[in-house]
Amino acid sequence: MQKHEIYLVTGATGHLGLTIITQLIADGKKVRALALSGDKLNSRLPSEVEICYGNIIDPSSLEEFFRVDPDTDVFVIHLAGIVTTSLEYQQIVYDVNVKGTRNITDAAIKHNVTKLVHVSSVHAIPEKPKGEVIREVDHFDKDLVYGLYGQTKAEATQYVLDAGKKGLDVTVIHPTGICGPNSPSNNRSAQLVITCWCSKMPTGVVGGFDFVDVRDVAAGIIAACKKGRKGECYILSNRYISIKEFFRTFEDITGKRQPRLMAPMWLVKIFMPSYDLFYKLTKRTPLFSTQSLHILTTNSLFSSDKARHELGYTTRPFKETLADTIEWMKKEGVIS
């Protein structure tokens, strides 16, 4: 007799969470989403999804989320986290990214789940010198990475792997810069598209990053639930996209002229204090920060060979991702 399956998803209302859940529902899977009570984005969850209200930083609120019928294979996809490009310490970021992950991991052990797939970040992996390929590592140290986000992800990831050594079936996923359609909020990649559409970018910067389609990452994570090896990590990347290439691709798709001048990073950093002050006074979210500029200059040569070989992971062309994002924004009225 075939066992029943259920997928428990945290961070369900985020860009990646919604994409994963949509794919799971399309595949006929039973899905339970952990959601914050009062979250306006809960209404975006498909009607087929069972919503369980709770908070990963409150262990007692997770009991109902993990309670399932006997003889059920339980696949936990832990996505919940706070992405920040701020270099300032924020207690809530630590509480969600580290303590929250501990709580989910401990609950997974307590309830004897079939598999825990923890979504970390490539920023948890120590950077290598320019030109060297960055591949998966098997140990994480927060003191070896830059910025609060990377440090909290590194600490949380090591906790998950340590639980794996004690018997829990865990697989860790490290996505690069996620972008693509169907974002429930204007994250930084979406902000960049909006800014380009409105022709409000006076100049670009010399730099770039590895950008990957949210739909490809979602498919890779779902594959990891069954194909991911116990205690193993997988990088889900695409390829390096410079800001210059981003502009040229955007211009090819839309016909909207984009900046030709790419300012060197040293020049941009000189004007960062006044740039930061402007956004603080206007209470707007800046498109760039000191850390995001740092990321644009780091080594972004990531290898997804392991995921492609073991998970069947594939990626689509970046131009397709950008075109689909623009089309989705038009339909949603984000741009017109």
**Dist CA 20 CA 78 (whole Å):** 11
**Dist CA 336 CA 334 (whole Å):** 7
pLDDT higher than threshold 90 for residue 205? no
pLDDT of residue 186: 67
Sequence-ordered list of residues with C-beta below 8 angstroms from that of 212, at least 6 positions apart, any chain: 175, 176, 177, 178, 179, 236, 237, 238, 315
**Dist CA 137 CA 231 (whole Å):** 11
Average of per-residue pLDDT across 143-157 = 96
pLDDT of residue 281: 52
pLDDT of residue 184: 76
Average of per-residue pLDDT across 216-241 = 98
* AA letter at 230: K
Per-residue confidence band for 62, with pLDDT thresholds at 50, 70 and 90: very high
**What does the block give as tokens for 105?**
């991991």
**What does the block give as tokens for 191?**
């902000």
pLDDT higher than threshold 60 for residue 261? yes
* AA letter at 251: E
pLDDT of residue 278: 46
Per-residue confidence band for 283, with pLDDT thresholds at 50, 70 and 90: low
Average of per-residue pLDDT across 50-70 = 96
Average of per-residue pLDDT across 162-182 = 96
**What does the block give as tokens for 118?**
């923890």
Buried b / exposed e over 301-334, threshold 16 CB at 10 Å, is bbebebbbeebebebeebeebbbbbbebbeeeeb
Per-residue confidence band for 336, with pLDDT thresholds at 50, 70 and 90: confident
Sequence-ordered list of residues with C-beta below 8 angstroms from that of 223, at least 6 positions apart, any chain: 311, 312, 313
Average of per-residue pLDDT across 171-187 = 90
How do 170-175 and 232-236 pair as beta strands?
parallel
**Interval 303-317: pLDDT, tens:** 999 999 999 999 999
Sequence-ordered list of residues with C-beta below 8 angstroms from that of 129, at least 6 positions apart, any chain: 299
**Interval 230-248: pLDDT, tens:** 999 999 999 999 999 999 9
Q: What are phi and psi of 34, to 5 degrees?
A: -90, 125
pLDDT of residue 192: 87
pLDDT mean across residues, the chain: 91
pLDDT of residue 288: 62
Over pLDDT 90: what percentage of the chain?
75
**Interval 189-201: pLDDT, tens:** 888 899 899 888 7
pLDDT higher than threshold 60 for residue 228? yes
Over pLDDT 70: what percentage of the chain?
90
**What does the block give as tokens for 83?**
């992405």
pLDDT of residue 272: 60
Q: Closest Cα partner for 44 from 65, 23, 15?
A: 15
Q: How far apart are the first and last CA of the chain?
A: 53
pLDDT of residue 285: 59
pLDDT higher than threshold 80 for residue 71? yes
Per-residue confidence band for 270, with pLDDT thresholds at 50, 70 and 90: low
pLDDT higher than threshold 90 for residue 87? no
pLDDT higher than threshold 50 for residue 36? yes
Contact of 157 with 78, CB cutoff 8 Å: no
Least confident window among 17-31, 142-156, 180-194 = 180-194
Specify the residue for token string 């010198």. 129
